[in-house]
Amino acid sequence: MFYISIVRHNKDEPIYKQIYRWFQQEILSGRLSADTPLPSKRSLAQTLSVSQNSVLAAYMQLNTEGYIYTIERKGYFVERLEPLSLGASPLLALPESTPQPSYEYIYSFSHMSVDASRFPFKQWYKSEQAATEANRRSWADIDPPAGSQRLRTAISYSVRQMRGVTCQPEQIIIGASTQVLLQQLTQLLGPDRSYALENPGYQRIRQMLEQNGERTELLSVDNQGLQTEALQQQKTINTVIVTPSHQMPVGAIMPISRRIQLLNWCYEQTGRYVIEDDYDSEFRYEGDMIPALQSLDHHGRVIYMGTYSKSLLPGLRISYMVLPPDLLDLFHQKCAHLMQTASSLHQQTLAHFIENGEYRKHIRRMSRHYGEVREHLIYEIQDIFGKKAVIQGEKSGLHFLLHVQTHETLPSILHRAALNGLELYGLDRFMKYPKQAPPTLVIGFALLEKEYVSKAVEVLYHSCFP
């Protein structure tokens, strides 16, 4: 007979489970060999002084999982199993993660953040309530690959008003991030692609493309954005990814002459496309908004990409692209199997938030706030740095460049800043091959409070000129 040690009144493991687990381990370890008969329910229950129901429940579970088999009127027998290699411990050793130096930041010039403390959570949750009540039934399913129809309609109006982008709701494809959408887009554009990227530029896009095996070429950027003339030399390029409204990270606004050059390059050969990454141009401080490149394109060669990461919250994970009609057809053929990546709840909430005017209100409010911080910041930098620093690309968005005339190296500046509680990044992280040059800093101001501007600039100055 078997000896099974039963712990009574064990809250974590009822008696049937203890019996089950004992047999499971005996069978897996091979101590109970194939075709061994199990004791009858009655006799085991008696031996262990437990109820027959406990034994029955254990046997049923062992049978369901295939540890034992049953022959009618004869009882249960141990299943014939290959031996399984069991390790010493089910908890494997984790690799030692490279320790990240962690600093306590007091001020931040991060270009990756937004000011979430001013996000109208109350209005957002009101829209969420309205969306929940309006759509209770629809939460049972997932949104289609292109996204919620209601949100696509809301975006098509909003992006026309705010960015001059002309499109129908059907052209809008929603996804969790620009990266996810770009991944889908590379599928649509097919394998014979060579992507031109801005240098300096957004490295996560380049890394993703390269990891997917796509060919990439780097094109230089100056104070007018991407140098479009270079496209005439690089004959293999047929797709350009560009940030014309506020170059990332240089901040340049691409003038109309280059925009026309870019579009004409596109029209010269079939199959050429421009992907316009319009990541933060909702915020503009001098003059009117700069219309999107897409608004000039009447031939369906510009793919516009927008996001709510900067204008609302990055954590919502809602971006979109506007596909030209010919790619739209291909999308429905090639991407029908892809699951929508953006939250349905957030999509419906955002649709309400745009429809009831809260989105525009938020943009107006934040433009004013960011504008004030920016003005104060530029004033302080000019006051303290004088001729030792030059600001570039400050006309819109949430960051600008600061070229500093110092003999200090970029790493030493960043290190000193971090030690003094200042989060700070350099231009080098936007380059595939960072070059040695007078240090250029990327100054984001979304996380900076007005009252800390002077102090932060002071720390910045002493990091550059110790």
Q: What is the nearest approach in angstroms of a copy of itself to the Cβ of residue 404?
A: 26
- Residue 248 touching a copy of itself (CB under 8 A): no
CA–CA gap between residue 433 and residue 440 (Å, rounded)? 15
Q: What is the nearest approach in angstroms of a copy of itself to the Cβ of residue 298?
A: 3
DSSP-based three-state secondary structure for 25? helix
For a copy of itself, which is the closer residue by CB, 131 or 464? 131
Sole residue written with tokens 């004030």: 372
Both tokens of residue 71? Answer: 């022959």
Q: What is the nearest approach in angstroms of a copy of itself to the Cβ of residue 326?
A: 7
For a copy of itself, which is the closer residue by CB, 265 or 385? 265
For a copy of itself, which is the closer residue by CB, 274 or 389? 274
Backbone φ and ψ for 33, nearest 5 degrees, come out as -90, 165
Q: What is the nearest approach in angstroms of a copy of itself to the Cβ of residue 384?
A: 26
- Residue 325 touching a copy of itself (CB under 8 A): yes
AA letter at 134:
A
Give the Å distances, CA to CA, from 18 to 11, 22, 36: 12, 6, 20
**DSSP of 229-245:** GGGGT-TT--EEEE--S
Sole residue written with tokens 């129908």: 168
Give the interface size with a copy of itself as a residue count (CB under 8 A): 115
Which of 156, 176, 177, 197 has its CA nearest to residue 322?
156
Instruction: Return the range that interacts with a copy of itself (CB under 8 A); candidates 35-43, 289-297, 378-386, 398-406.
Output: 289-297
Q: What is the nearest approach in angstroms of a copy of itself to the Cβ of residue 383?
A: 25
Q: What is the nearest approach in angstroms of a copy of itself to the Cβ of residue 403?
A: 21
Q: What is the nearest approach in angstroms of a copy of itself to the Cβ of residue 91?
A: 6
405-444: which residues touch a copy of itself (CB under 8 A)?
none
For a copy of itself, which is the closer residue by CB, 142 or 437? 142
Q: What is the nearest approach in angstroms of a copy of itself to the Cβ of residue 426?
A: 18
For a copy of itself, which is the closer residue by CB, 312 or 389? 312
- Residue 260 touching a copy of itself (CB under 8 A): yes
Q: CA Rg, the chain, in Å?
A: 31
- Residue 392 touching a copy of itself (CB under 8 A): no
9-48: which residues touch a copy of itself (CB under 8 A)?
17, 20, 27-28
Instruction: Return the range that interacts with a copy of itself (CB under 8 A); candidates 193-201, 318-326, 378-386, 435-443.
Output: 318-326
Strand partners, 197: 218
CB 309 within 8 A of CB 346: no
CA–CA gap between residue 397 and residue 371 (Å, rounded)? 10
53-92: which residues touch a copy of itself (CB under 8 A)?
57, 60-61, 64-67, 79-92
CA–CA gap between residue 276 and residue 292 (Å, rounded)? 8
Residues 6+ positions from 384 with CB-CB distance below 8 Å: 457, 458, 461
177-206: which residues touch a copy of itself (CB under 8 A)?
177-180, 183, 187, 203-204
- Residue 286 touching a copy of itself (CB under 8 A): yes
| Single residue of 147, 200, 251, 324 touching a copy of itself by CB under 8 A | 324
Give the dihedral sign, CA 445/450/451/453.
positive
- Residue 342 touching a copy of itself (CB under 8 A): yes
Neighbours of 98 (CB within 10 A): 5
Question: Is residue 32 exposed (0-12), middle (13-18) or buried (19+ Cβ within 10 Å)?
Answer: buried
- Residue 287 touching a copy of itself (CB under 8 A): yes
CA–CA gap between residue 391 and residue 324 (Å, rounded)? 37
Per-residue string for binding with a copy of itself, 110-149, x by CB under 8 A? x-xxxxxx-x-x---x--xx--x---xxxxxxxx------
CB 301 within 8 A of CB 274: yes
- Residue 447 touching a copy of itself (CB under 8 A): yes
Q: What is the nearest approach in angstroms of a copy of itself to the Cβ of residue 85?
A: 6
